[in-house]
Copies of this chain bind each other. A is one copy, B any other.
Amino acid sequence: MLQGKMKRGFCVSFVVWVVVVAAGFASVDGLNVWPMPESVSKGLSSLYLSKGFRLLTEGSEYRDESGILKDGFLRLLDVVESAHVVDGNWTGYDSLAALEGLHVVVFSPSDELQYGIDESYKLSIPATGNPIYAHLEAQTVYGALHGLQTFSQLCHFNFETRIIEVHKAPWVIKDQPRFSYRGLLIDTSRHYQPLPMIKNVIDAMAYTKLNVLHWHIVDSQSFPLEIPSFPKLWNGAYSPSERYTMDDAVEVVQYAQRRGVNVLAEIDVPGHARSWGIGYPSLWPSSNCRQPLDVSNEFTFKVIDGILSDFSKVFKFKFVHLGGDEVNTSCWTVTPHVKNWLKKQGLNESEAYEYFVLRAQKIALSHGYEMVNWEETFNDFGNKLNPKTVVHNWLGGGVAQRVVAAGLRCIVSNQDQWYLHYMETTWPQFYMNEPLTNITNPKQQELVIGERLWTPFDKLAKDPNLVAGRLAHFRCLLNQRGVAAAPLFGNGRAVPNYPGSCYKQ
């Protein structure tokens, strides 16, 4: 993995959009919901949110004892009402009908968040009724949260009435994600991210219906996380204050979970782990040749075991990420004791790399995890990988088709199209990147667990310019909610070149 993979904070980086959105504020069909739901029908009536707009949950199997749904509903009101001051005294409702609340029915009593759970929902907003309630049905509370996000995007402050309105009722939206893994990576090793910043990223993920925060916690540069089993590991932090306690990690996981976001924790072994040896120098082949981790030292695997044991108490996602990319084994062959060990074991350097990765996989399995590994492990010894491995593509295109042909699962995130910190990548490139390129066998298609994609393939625009207006609208909505999403024009994270409307930048 290139060290540049990480980025600071969250930024929807869409670049160099060369077609001017002359129309301005609306997409072609006037439907400004992002991402586009699976199916949408709408009407012509206008409703307003009544003063006492409330959440009803009659008929739910889900009891919401932890308040996930209730809090989600309060956040919905909060983002919808933070745009402008709502007039609580306005009384000219004659031509409008009151929407009294949202009736949410969740069928599953469980609030377990896990890979592959049902995230579908159905949102209906009738145009008439006495009283009128919107109706949201979902198998799980997390599907319901997605429905709330969609509902929030149908709400508009009306500058005449000074109240929140929903236009174009009746609405019927049936929706579910195309891919069950929709991730965003943050790297807290290269740049420490304070807890409030990580929470901001999670908020933004919820707005965009992403569901996996891939937390690249540690790397060569720093080791910010407390590991109770090996308490000197976070001596490798950049500074005393640039650290996370395990309680902080719990806080991140819980904050994410309550928003329907899983946390995929990563340790990147053996190649991206130089910081480990600050606390435990014996993890280095030697003090002047510091990575990969010393493959010859049993202590190395004891530490990995301790980390994954500690992880398993906090990171309840089905997967753990074991890295495994960019392993330069020269320290193993120039360091006498490692070299001797290799000889004794009858392993050459690439076999030792394989040995390391596979042994780490076994440790992960012993703690109940399935594993994600970067694609080099597949490229180098794919047929040896445990069948429970998910291969994480990053180097470029074309990998997924080989991975799934080998019967393994794959996460697509080719850097040429989907690295947010590549400022020169245009947003249409992001949009047009198709994870199932050249994968036509339905069984193989199922093995691509995705990365970041919600909308069904046949609802995606063939020409990204057709969604530019809707995307601009969504970007302005993110700004409205305090997320500093960058303009569509210009380089990633660039400021607008000229004064102008948010919707045209």
Contacts and interface: CB of A to CB of B under 8 A. Distances in A.
Interface of A is mostly: loop
A250 interface: yes
A239 B192 contact: no
B502 A245 contact: no
A254 to B, nearest CB: 10
Task: Please give the count of copies of this chain that the complex contains.
Answer: 2
A3 interface: yes
Contacts of A242: 501-503
A25 to B, nearest CB: 5
A71 interface: no
Interface stretch (A77-85, A101-109, A327-335, A455-463): A77-85
B480 A196 contact: yes
A481 B496 CA distance: 25
A476 B9 CA distance: 13
A496 B421 CA distance: 12
A25 B190 contact: no
B196 A82 contact: yes
B251 A85 contact: yes
A51 interface: no
Interface residues of A, number: 55
A362 interface: no
Contacts of A502: 191-192, 238-239, 242
A250 B85 contact: yes
Nearest to A85: B247
Contacts of A241: 25, 156-157, 159, 476
Contact of A245 (B84, B194, B476): B84
Interface in A227-278: 238-245, 247-248, 250-251
Contacts of A1: none
A406 interface: no
B196 A162 contact: no
A430 B190 CA distance: 29
A271 to B, nearest CB: 16
A287 interface: no
A197 interface: yes
A12 B286 CA distance: 42
A396 interface: no
A109 B484 CA distance: 40
A33 B200 CA distance: 26
A8 interface: yes
A238 B196 contact: no
B84 A238 contact: no
Contacts of A25: 239-241
List the 7 shortest-distance A-B pairs measured between CB atoms, nearest first.
Answer: A190-B499, A238-B501, A85-B247, A194-B480, A196-B482, A221-B499, A85-B251
Given A241-B476, A242-B502, 13 more contacts: A6-B499, A8-B495, A83-B196, A84-B244, A85-B247, A159-B226, A159-B241, A159-B243, A191-B500, A192-B502, A194-B482, A222-B499, A222-B501
